[in-house]
Amino acid sequence: MLDFNLNENQQLIAEMVRSFGVKEITPFRKEWDDTSFFPIEIFKKLGELGLMGVLVPTEYGGSGFSYTEYVTAILELSKIDPSIGLSMAAHNSLCTGHIMMFGTEEQKRKYLPKLATCEWLGAWGLTEPNTGSDAGNMRTVAIKDGEYYILNGAKNFITHGISGDVAVVIARTGEVGDSHGMTAFVIERGTPGFKGGRKEDKLGMRASETAEMIFEDCKVHESQVLGKVGDGFIQSMKILDGGRISIAALSLGIAEGALEASIQYSKERHQFNKPISSFQGISFKLADMATQLEAAKLLTFKAADLKNRGEKVTLAGAQAKYFASEVCVSISNEAVQIFGGYGFTKDYPVEKFYRDSKLCTIGEGTSEIQKLVISRDILK
Which helix (DSSP H) or strand (DSSP E) does residue 150 occupy?
Answer: strand 148-159
312: DSSP letter: -
Q: Mark 344-371 as b/e (b = at least 16 C-beta within 10 Å).
A: eeeebbbbbbbbbbbbbbbbbbebebbe
Which helix (DSSP H) or strand (DSSP E) does residue 74 occupy?
Answer: helix 67-80
Q: Which residues pair with 54 in a beta bridge?
A: none
Q: For residue 349, what are the contacts with CB-CB under 8 A and spacing of at least 6?
A: 257, 258, 261
Among 76, 128, 351, 364, the one annotated catalytic: 364
Closest CA to 21 of 78, 68, 95, 97: 78
Q: For residue 45, what are the contacts with CB-CB under 8 A and spacing of at least 6?
A: 20, 24
Q: In three state form, how does the secondary structure of 260-287 look?
A: HHHHHHHHHCEECCEEHHHCHHHHHHHH
3-state SS class at 85: helix
364 flagged as catalytic: yes
3-state SS class at 38: coil
46 within 8 A of 105, measured Cβ to Cβ: no
Helices 232-268 and 280-308: crossing angle in degrees, nearest 10, is 150
Closest CA to 88 of 31, 46, 30: 46
Q: For residue 18, what are the contacts with CB-CB under 8 A and spacing of at least 6?
A: 76, 80
Active site residues: 364
